[in-house]
């Protein structure tokens, strides 16, 4: 696949008779999904984006929804009065319809309504006036609103993903929508780009770059493209990870010999060493409350995941199954860790309940890497190889709903899911 790393509810009560009970209980993801129809919007064929299809794909990718087909060629506007019995007869518990109108200033007015077909009532309706380039974003935001109304949790469809590609000798740092579409190149380099990490504000990316002949850590404003050098110490500078408040970053530096963990302020001041071992300590990640850091170390003879207080102190081992466990990612609620484990020569995605230590392998592929949680914690993005091609994949935490986001002949690696706030 790619060069191995630079470093070591069930849906409960789904058959609900009334809207008071229509909300999905999402303690986990099961085989039963909430049935919903997203009909074609009136006049969406006159626009450059298939709005209804985007919404439909977003909801299905979450693993919580099942699409019920609408009759082909019959758009449903938000002003319509649904034929309740017909939609219930199709098996849809909820229904979405809308319209798209071209405004005098060239923008598109995207309107929609979500209906409860069980109670025969309106649930929500909104409008978004956007330029053509933002039609996909409008669709993602509609999907987010529907997701939140039905599940009670924020959707992640309007968030962004960063990842790195390599084609020939050219590396690119790419930013795309959470579904892998609308990709744009933030940086092109003839040298490696590794470890992209989103700042909590969603406006900056930290990453390691080899453009100066060795690994240095830089921070880039994703809107302006402006970059600043954060770490260029003696030796290797790599694996940046932002603290939850965005004021510090954890780094892996070899400035004092072996690779160790350091903290640095976002302006490059206040460098402080965290680990004091002769081992390789790298791939740090903060817990959501900022109190702990999980990281990879070979201090026990092979790479394993450890945790320690974020201010420094003694570390305790977290992974014990297998002799090779790397790339920890902590869920936004702090309850789950995703990581990569090597089993019989295959690198596979696993998750661990941090309260119990119970681990579960959730992929069957052999070259997985770099897991990253969605900001609502319901999905994990990772890079893998499938069908002989490089793939960015998302999966539910139980591994039952995997969806490829990007399939490419280029090497693709290190997805980083951005925060809420777009």
Q: Please determine, looking at this structure, whether the domain spanning 11-151 carries the CATH number 3.40.50.10070.
A: yes
Q: Any bridge partners for residue 380, and if so which?
A: 373, 395
> Could you state, in order of their start, the residue ranges of all structural domains in the chain?
11-151, 160-417
What is the torsional sign of CA 361, 307, 239, 161?
positive
Residue in 222, 227, 183 with CA at minimum distance from that of residue 208? 227
Q: Rounded distance, CA 374 to CA 41, Å? A: 28
Given the structure tokens 């400035």, which residue do they identify? 255
Residue in 217, 175, 162, 212 with CA at minimum distance from that of residue 6? 217
pLDDT tens string, the chain, 422 residues long: the values are 434 344 432 222 222 333 333 444 443 444 579 999 999 999 999 999 999 999 999 999 999 999 999 988 889 999 999 999 999 999 999 999 999 999 999 999 999 999 999 999 999 999 999 999 999 999 999 999 999 999 999 999 999 999 999 999 999 999 999 999 999 999 999 999 999 999 999 999 999 999 988 999 999 999 999 999 999 999 999 999 999 999 999 999 999 888 999 999 999 999 999 999 999 999 999 999 999 999 999 999 999 999 999 999 999 999 999 999 999 999 999 999 999 999 989 999 999 999 999 999 999 999 999 999 999 999 999 999 988 889 999 999 999 999 999 888 789 999 999 999 86
- pLDDT of 389 reads 87
Residue in 75, 68, 86, 16 with CA at minimum distance from that of residue 44? 75
- pLDDT of 179 reads 94
- pLDDT of 20 reads 33
- As given in the structure block, the two tokens for residue 299 are 């201090």
- pLDDT of 125 reads 96
Q: Rounded distance, CA 367 to CA 179, Å? A: 21
Distances (CA, A) of 141 to 48, 110, 149, 210, 211: 17, 11, 12, 37, 37
- pLDDT of 4 reads 39
pTM: 0.91
Give the architecture (CATH level 2) of 160-417. 6 Propeller (2.120)
Q: Rounded distance, CA 78 to CA 124, Å? A: 10
């Amino acid at each position: 696949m790619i060069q191995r790393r630079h470093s070591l509810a069930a849906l409960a009560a789904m058959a609900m008779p009334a809207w008071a009970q229509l909300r999905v209980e999402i303690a986990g993801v099961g085989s039963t999904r909430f049935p919903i129809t997203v009909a074609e919007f009136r006049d969406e064929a006159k626009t450059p984006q298939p709005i209804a299809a985007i919404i439909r794909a977003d909801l299905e990718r979450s693993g919580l929804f099942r699409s019920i087909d609408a009759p082909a060629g019959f758009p449903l506007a938000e002003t319509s009065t649904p034929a309740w019995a017909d939609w219930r007869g199709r098996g849809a518990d909820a229904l979405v319809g809308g319209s798209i109108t071209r405004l005098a200033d060239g923008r598109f007015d995207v309107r929609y309504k979500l209906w409860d077909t069980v109670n025969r009532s309106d649930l929500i309706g909104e409008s978004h006036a956007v330029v053509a380039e933002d039609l996909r974003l409008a669709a993602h935001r509609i999907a987010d609103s529907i997701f939140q109304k039905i599940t009670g949790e924020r959707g992640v469809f309007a968030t962004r993903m960063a990842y790195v590609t390599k084609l020939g000798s050219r590396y690119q740092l790419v930013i795309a929508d959470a579904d892998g579409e609308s990709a744009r190149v933030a940086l092109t380099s003839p040298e490696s780009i590794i470890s992209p990490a989103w700042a909590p504000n969603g406006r900056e990316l930290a990453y390691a770059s080899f453009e100066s002949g060795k690994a240095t850590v830089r921070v880039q404003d994703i809107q302006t493209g402006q970059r600043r050098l954060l770490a260029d110490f003696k030796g290797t500078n790599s694996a940046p990870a932002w603290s939850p408040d965005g004021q510090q970053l954890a780094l892996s530096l070899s400035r004092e010999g072996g690779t160790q963990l350091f903290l640095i302020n976002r302006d490059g001041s206040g460098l402080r060493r965290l680990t004091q071992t002769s081992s390789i300590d790298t791939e740090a990640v903060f817990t959501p409350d900022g109190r702990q850091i999980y990281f990879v170390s070979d201090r026990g003879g092979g790479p394993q995941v450890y945790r320690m207080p974020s201010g420094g102190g003694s570390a305790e081992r977290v992974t014990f199954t297998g002799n090779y466990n790397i790339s920890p990612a902590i869920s936004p609620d702090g309850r789950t860790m995703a990581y990569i484990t090597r089993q019989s020569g295959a690198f596979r995605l696993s998750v661990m309940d941090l309260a119990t230590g119970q681990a579960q392998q959730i992929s069957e592929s052999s070259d997985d890497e770099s897991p990253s949680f969605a900001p609502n914690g319901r999905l994990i993005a990772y890079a893998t190889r499938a069908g002989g091609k490089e793939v960015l994949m998302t999966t539910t935490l139980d591994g039952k709903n995997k969806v490829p986001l990007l399939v490419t002949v280029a090497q693709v690696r290190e997805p980083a899911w951005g925060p809420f706030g777009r």
